[in-house]
Chains A and B, each alone.
Chain A
Amino acid sequence: MNFENVDLKGMGAAVEQIEQLTYKLKELGAGIPAVEKNSRIILSVVNILKLGISDPADLINQ
């Protein structure tokens, strides 16, 4: 499999957007358990994507 054609930088940027949007969602839904708790779960998974996608993408960007 050739990974050179994969847009890693684009994926890293998408992860960043999801994170920002989730923080915004959490802020908008402050005090609503269904929003706060689900936002936290999204952020936990975003953290995994940051380690697995954003970190390698950052190396390419350097």
Chain B
Amino acid sequence: MPEKKTIYWNPFLETMPREKLVEIELKNFRRYLRYAREKCEYYRAKYKNIDPEEIRSIEDIRKLPIIDKEALRLAQEENGFGLFGQMLGVHPNEVTAFRQTSGTTGRPVYVAESYESWQWRVEIWCHILWMAGFRENDNVFVPFGYNVYVAFWEGHYAAEKLGCMVIPGGALDTRGRIDKMLEVKATASLNTPTYGLHMAESALKKGLDPKAIGIKRMVCAGEPLPQATRQRLENIWGAEVYDHIGGTEPCAWGAMCHERKGLHIMEPYFLVEILDMKTLSREVEEGELGVAVVTPLGRHSFPLIRFNTNDIVRKGAAGCLCGRTSLTISEVVGRADDLRKIRGVLFAPVSVEELLRREFPEIGEYEIVVERKGLNDEITLRLESCQGIDSDTMAQICAKIFERLKTKTNLRFNIACVPEGKLARYMLKSKRFKDLRGADQDEF
């Protein structure tokens, strides 16, 4: 009899030799391509001259076209194909749930789920939560109304499948949620990083140390989680904090194990290519940055083949001290559509978050605003102190931040202090970066 306790959700897949993983992925890719061509109008037209049986290697896959979010939007606007346009991969009567993307970069994409496809997504999330140490004795608090956004639904159903007790905390304000977490003795939570920090801030204002709430594990979703923010969350909550990467269209495709050093790609459920950012034609080497192009091999209701996620990641090694053999990514840098050229310099907003969370614990909320004044770009960082510190000390901190930002980003920021509580607080995706330059900005 096998031992009952294991760190793996599915030891056969998670510790499988790499060549076997690749073999399964290629087999599943052919099967998925056949399915998409047969059942989905979009692929029927787009791939009519491609024979799935001719796909024998990753190099063969590389010859297939890449699809992006804009293509999905266009395919959904085609007349005569119903709510989900040409992207639907099942009969409309088989659709059991409607989800949509957040619409951050344009018109939201509608995503159809059949019961079968939903179970596939839930299974992926079981892997994520199990890797993060969620077990049947956990009381999992989810401090959101999930609405049409997918991540917390997935986490909710997966935690139930693991046997956890799930407490949906939607119809409450932040103070009410903290009280409820104490009342039900919550041991784990699923939240955005921003809201994790905000709940901690609210608890402290109430005179309650967040550690006393009893959360031991936290899985973050919905936003990038720089290492410094993750560590700040761990320190303030006294909990293990886990990241993952994914999106509404393909599902979550990478997640953190207990080593918490980078993310494991969820093989063989996904075929993930990390391609050079300029041509999207070459797999980058270990340590290089690239764009993740993802094929979710079980999404039948909404087939996606070679979907450009726009996520910029650093390719890591295969394997890990945890024993999993999957490929890894060592860093999530951000989304390609978040990168901006400012005064000719390529700027990633997440670099400011990383600096503030790592080096300046006195700073709470912040906001970055880019404007065009005359012919010049101006970038302003608005900062809120979180500890009620005096104005002289704050001025010294601002001067330090100015210098550190200049070194880190090659940009000279205007630094503006605002009173505590002045900046917006966010529950779901935060909007701390505002580019007000309009359409005439430099192209990335």
Q: Which of A2, A3, A41 contacts B115 (CB 8 A)?
A: A41
**Contact between chains at B2 and A52 (CB < 8 Å):** no
Q: Which of A19-27, A28-36, A43-51 contacts B (4 or more CB under 8 A)?
A: A43-51
A56–B21 CA distance with the chains assembled, in angstroms: 9
Known: A1-B2, A56-B16. A48 touches B11 (CB 8 A): no
Check B269 for interface membership: any CB of A closer than 8 A: yes
* Residues in A whose Cβ lies below 8 Å from that of B2: 1-3, 5-6
**Contact between chains at B12 and A52 (CB < 8 Å):** yes
Known: A6-B2, A51-B298. A56 touches B13 (CB 8 A): yes
Closest residue on chain B to residue A48 by CB atoms? B123
Instruction: Count CB-based A-B contacts (< 8 Å).
Output: 50
Interface centre among A1, A6, A40 (most CB of B within 10 A): A1
Dominant secondary structure at the B interface: helix
**Contact between chains at B11 and A1 (CB < 8 Å):** yes
Dominant secondary structure at the A interface: helix
Closest residue on chain B to residue A4 by CB atoms? B2
Check B431 for interface membership: any CB of A closer than 8 A: no
* Residues in B whose Cβ lies below 8 Å from that of A8: 12
Chain B nearest Cβ from A57, distance in angstroms: 8
Interface string of B1-44 (1 = CB under 8 A from A): 01101101011110110001001100110000000000000000
A6–B15 CA distance with the chains assembled, in angstroms: 14
**Contact between chains at A59 and B24 (CB < 8 Å):** yes
**Contact between chains at A48 and B119 (CB < 8 Å):** yes
* Residues in B whose Cβ lies below 8 Å from that of A45: 119
* Residues in B whose Cβ lies below 8 Å from that of A5: 2
* Residues in A whose Cβ lies below 8 Å from that of B269: 51
A47–B299 CA distance with the chains assembled, in angstroms: 12
A51–B15 CA distance with the chains assembled, in angstroms: 15
Closest residue on chain A to residue B3 by CB atoms? A1
**Contact between chains at B24 and A1 (CB < 8 Å):** no
Chain A interface residue number, banded = 10 to 19
**Contact between chains at B10 and A52 (CB < 8 Å):** yes
* Residues in B whose Cβ lies below 8 Å from that of A52: 10, 12-13, 123
Check B402 for interface membership: any CB of A closer than 8 A: no
* Residues in B whose Cβ lies below 8 Å from that of A53: 12
Closest residue on chain B to residue A6 by CB atoms? B2
A41–B27 CA distance with the chains assembled, in angstroms: 25
**Contact between chains at B6 and A1 (CB < 8 Å):** yes
**Contact between chains at A3 and B11 (CB < 8 Å):** yes
* Residues in B whose Cβ lies below 8 Å from that of A51: 28, 120, 123, 269, 298
Closest residue on chain A to residue B11 by CB atoms? A3
Check B362 for interface membership: any CB of A closer than 8 A: no
* Residues in A whose Cβ lies below 8 Å from that of B10: 52
Interface string of B184-198 (1 = CB under 8 A from A): 000000000000000
Chain B nearest Cβ from A2, distance in angstroms: 8
Closest residue on chain B to residue A56 by CB atoms? B12
**Contact between chains at B120 and A48 (CB < 8 Å):** yes
**Contact between chains at B24 and A56 (CB < 8 Å):** yes
Check B116 for interface membership: any CB of A closer than 8 A: yes
A24–B23 CA distance with the chains assembled, in angstroms: 32
Known: A40-B115, A44-B115, A47-B116. A59 touches B123 (CB 8 A): no
A55–B62 CA distance with the chains assembled, in angstroms: 24
* Residues in B whose Cβ lies below 8 Å from that of A48: 119-120, 123
**Contact between chains at B12 and A3 (CB < 8 Å):** yes
A51–B27 CA distance with the chains assembled, in angstroms: 11
A2–B23 CA distance with the chains assembled, in angstroms: 23
| Closest CB pairs A-B (n = 4) | A56-B12, A44-B119, A44-B116, A52-B10
Starting from the known contacts A44-B119, A48-B119, A51-B120, 5 additional A-B residue pairs (CB-CB under 8 Å) come to A1-B11, A3-B15, A47-B119, A55-B24, A59-B23
27 contacts across the A-B interface (CB closer than 8 A): A1-B6, A1-B8, A1-B11, A3-B12, A3-B15, A5-B2, A8-B12, A40-B115, A44-B115, A45-B119, A47-B116, A47-B119, A47-B120, A48-B119, A48-B120, A51-B28, A51-B123, A51-B269, A51-B298, A52-B10, A52-B12, A52-B13, A52-B123, A55-B27, A55-B268, A56-B16, A59-B24
**Interface residues of B, Cβ cutoff 8 Å to A:** 2-3, 5-6, 8, 10-13, 15-16, 20, 23-24, 27-28, 115-116, 119-120, 123, 268-269, 298
